[in-house]
């Protein structure tokens, strides 16, 4: 497996995310519509424009590391390997179409089934979170309407919290809440429940603003990998129903995730 220059990649991807975010926000402010893909999920020109920007930069970072993007999902059979980038150029397309602010740009690096690097950018909120080491994650302000090179990030460390005495704060999907999630939550000491779109649910856990995010509905690896890396680096975990860490590179499933539970600091 090739060694990877994380510092260089982080610098280049901050610029690329800012550019991709600028492209997304141009469409966000217009009356651009959307199409339906073969699986009946929506796709916009914002997805495609952001995808092109990110793919170009990832190939510049390392042309030998394959890139798997939501927008190139039909090419999965050609992307097999234990080291690869996972990209979702616009996670939370439904939220984007509704002109909400909880959509993100997600970029992750997978090595041997583990997300070892992640960057999540919410351009409408001007917020970015990313990993800078195996057990370190940070968050910062990043304005897509300004050149990234001209911005002082002032990135601050983020970490998960202990579950407070009053109970668990749970994050749930804004667009995919289901009965199975409701059944799971009713057996826990839930103090608060908040909904959000995209991978921002993981980031709430990583920043110590919430404790739990259960997901029983369908997700793909590019939906979760970047934020999963950030949550793990901040001290959290993402496990399947049987308690094992969520793995990536599940080519035999078409990169579909099983049900999972994301925790900040799981109570004993």
Determine the distance from the C-alpha atom of residue 190 to the mean position of all C-alpha atoms in its chain, rounded to a whole number: 24
- Residue 93 annotated as part of some ligand binding site: yes
Map the chain to HEC letters. CCCCCHHHHHHHHHHHHHHHHHHHHHHHCCCCCCEECCCCCEECHHHHHHHHHHHHHHHHHCCCCCEEEHHHHHHHHHCCCCEEEEEEEEECHHHHHCCCCCCEEEEEEEECCEEEEEEEEECCCCEEEEEEECCEEEEEECCCCCCHHHCCCCCEEECCCCCCCCCEEEEEECCCCCHHHHHHHCCCCEEEEEEECCCHHHHHHHCCCCCEEEECCCCEHHHHHHHHHHHHHCCCEEEECCCCECCCCCHHHCCECCCEEEECCCCC
- Residue 44 annotated as part of some ligand binding site: no
- Residue 101 annotated as part of some ligand binding site: no
Q: For residue 66, give both structure tokens.
A: 């394959």
- Residue 91 annotated as part of some ligand binding site: yes
- Residue 178 annotated as part of some ligand binding site: no
- Binding site: which residues? 70, 88, 90-93, 223
- Binding site for substrate: which residues? 70, 90-93, 223
- Binding site for Mg(2+): which residues? 70, 88, 90-91, 223
């Amino acid at each position: 497996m090739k060694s990877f220059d994380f510092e260089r990649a982080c610098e280049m991807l901050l610029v690329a995310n800012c550019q991709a975010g600028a492209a997304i926000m141009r469409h966000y402010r217009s009356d651009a519509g959307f199409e339906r893909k073969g699986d009946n999920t929506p796709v916009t020109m914002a997805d495609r424009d952001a995808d092109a920007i990110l793919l170009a930069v990832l190939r510049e970072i390392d042309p030998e590391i394959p890139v798997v993007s939501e927008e190139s999902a039909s090419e999965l059979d050609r992307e097999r390997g234990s080291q690869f980038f996972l990209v979702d150029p616009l996670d939370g397309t439904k939220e984007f179409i509704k002109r909400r602010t909880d959509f993100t740009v997600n970029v992750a690096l997978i090595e041997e089934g583990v997300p070892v690097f992640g960057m999540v950018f919410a351009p409408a909120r001007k917020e970015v979170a990313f990993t800078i080491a195996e057990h370190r994650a940070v968050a910062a302000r990043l304005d897509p309407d300004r050149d990234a090179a001209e911005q002082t990030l002032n990135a601050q460390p983020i970490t998960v919290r202990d579950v407070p005495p009053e109970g668990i704060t749970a994050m749930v999907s804004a667009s995919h809440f289901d009965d199975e999630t409701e059944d799971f939550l009713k057996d826990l000491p839930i103090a608060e429940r908040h909904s959000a779109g995209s991978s921002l649910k993981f980031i709430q856990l990583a920043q110590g603003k919430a404790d739990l995010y259960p997901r029983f509905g369908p997700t793909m690896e590019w939906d979760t990998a970047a934020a999963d890396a950030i949550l793990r680096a901040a001290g959290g975990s993402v496990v399947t129903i049987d308690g094992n860490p969520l793995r990536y590179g599940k080519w035999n499933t078409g990169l579909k995730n099983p049900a999972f539970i994301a925790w900040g600091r799981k109570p004993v």
